[in-house]
A = this chain, B = another copy of it.
């Protein structure tokens, strides 16, 4: 079993990674939580596979368990479903010494994490991310959120769990497109880290190679993110590295209204930002080709018809990371050397130039 220890200003916790961890959950959770009442929050995709097993595990370890299953999909990151999760906390009379387990992908991590941070002004939380994207992305950093009509993730908190349990066996029950989108985040991290991690990514030549290398890919991704987050919990400076590929990515993801998965939009954003900065002479020649090959190997997109459209620029201008009228792009000097570059939001249209050959 791999253990990554995360230290933030507000809390320290471990991320455990190993195949078969879900079958040892009772013992594992007993090591961080005293006996208490536990509310498991999961969704309609995940519940049929894991809810019964997880419930039995924690009950056999002496915990009292209740569960709430919400509809699968981004639409559950809403005021309405948040009120349902809070109502479940009340109905189960969770006290300040009880806890919530988030069992599912990124949506469940965000929703259950926000619920845990709000109920009685914060109760204990364990994250069990079951998708590759949630395992490498949202399980580190303590971000929680729901969406509102004005945009994604606009309402939320920073709230650290007591433990993150990652069992890569869960990837076997996911549709291929869902695992592949998570790999977009892996490539993003690997391109910034370089070295052994980037070499590992070269070994992934088709989608089937992702589960085969899952443990290492997850471990390297989380270690990279945990290092960054440990040094900067609240997106002051260093943490903004994790926005690599996300600035253009969020723009087209929002404008695509659900057609693109998050990791797919990030793949496009990661490749395109490399192209832009290579054109400016700030990124070493050939870097975008390397990044593009890694993404295309598993079928991730490098371009999209929304690139350069007014809809994309409008969405970018509303990015919650706009500070004092500027968006800070993360780019690569070369593989393994990320850097920052701020751009005035009023100049995005003239500054970003897309041509029809980008990635095609």
Residues of A within 8 A of B (CB): 9-10, 79, 83, 86-87, 90, 93, 95-97, 117-122, 143-145, 148-151, 154-158, 234-235, 318, 320-324
Whether A120 contacts B154 in the complex (CB less than 8 A), given A95-B323, A96-B320, A324-B97, comes out as yes
Q: Which of B148, B234, B324 contacts A86 (CB 8 A)?
A: B148
Ordered by A's residue number, 30 sampled pairs between the chains whose C-beta atoms are within 8 Å are A9-B10, A79-B79, A86-B154, A86-B155, A87-B148, A90-B149, A90-B154, A93-B318, A95-B320, A95-B323, A95-B324, A96-B235, A96-B323, A97-B323, A97-B324, A118-B155, A118-B156, A118-B157, A119-B154, A119-B155, A120-B154, A120-B320, A121-B143, A121-B144, A121-B157, A121-B158, A122-B157, A122-B158, A122-B234, A157-B157
State the oligomeric state as a number of copies: 2
Contact across chains for A148 and B90 when beta carbons are under 8 A apart: yes
Contact across chains for B90 and A79 when beta carbons are under 8 A apart: no
B-chain residues with CB within 8 Å of residue A155 when the two chains form the complex: 86, 118-119
Distance in angstroms from A336 CB to nearest chain B CB is 29
Contact across chains for B121 and A145 when beta carbons are under 8 A apart: yes
B-chain residues with CB within 8 Å of residue A143 when the two chains form the complex: 121
B-chain residues with CB within 8 Å of residue A151 when the two chains form the complex: 90
